[in-house]
A = this chain, B = another copy of it.
Amino acid sequence: MTTTSTKPMIALETKEMADMLFAATQEVFVSMLGSEIHQLPEAEPERSALFDGVVSVIGLAGPVIGNGIFACSAGAACDLSSRFLIAEFSAVDEQVLDAVGEITNMIVGGFKNLLESITGQLQMSIPTVMYGKNITSRNSQADLAVVVRCAFAGGECELAVRLAAA
């Protein structure tokens, strides 16, 4: 048996993946959160700046593996939770973290459905939501990474997807 170091490539361009991610985000914001969104320029593929706020991560597995990450400020998380749960939230509590987890689940789920036309069937893991200060994050094993920054009525949010050959 011989092995080679060449990984199978994912037949997907970064631009196409970013368009899918924006479309999935827009769908959830318009249909579930009652807000239009628009895309902001200058997304960085790897977050380098320190960040205060909420980060939600959900894994993807199948013919490709990876994850989807949703990040926003505490204020934006409260606004999104207020929209989603139709109740007033002014501080990040467990309900807000759960709401952000649910929103992440819907957005990454919509993205997964679009991606499956290219990759074949994928599964999502369960969301892990973290809230903290001075957060840096790293995803070292990705072959393909896109970040989409969006503005909505209550602030900004960032969606990232990283994929690697399984």
The distance in angstroms between the C-alpha atoms of A138 and B54, with both chains bound, is 11
Minimum distance in angstroms from A100 CB to a CB of chain B: 9
CB distance from A64 to the nearest CB of B (A): 10
Chain A's interface: helix, strand, loop or mixed, by majority?
strand
Kindly report how many copies of this chain are found in the complex they form together: 2
Interface size class of A (residues with CB under 8 A): 35 or more
Q: At the interface, yes or no: A88 with Cβ under 8 Å from chain B?
A: no
Cβ of A129 under 8 Å from chain B: yes
Q: In the complex, which of the residues B62, B98, B123, B164 contacts A166, with contact meaning CB atoms closer than 8 Å?
A: B123
Known: A57-B57, A59-B58, A59-B59. A126 touches B142 (CB 8 A): yes
> Are A127 and B141 in contact, CB atoms less than 8 angstroms apart?
yes
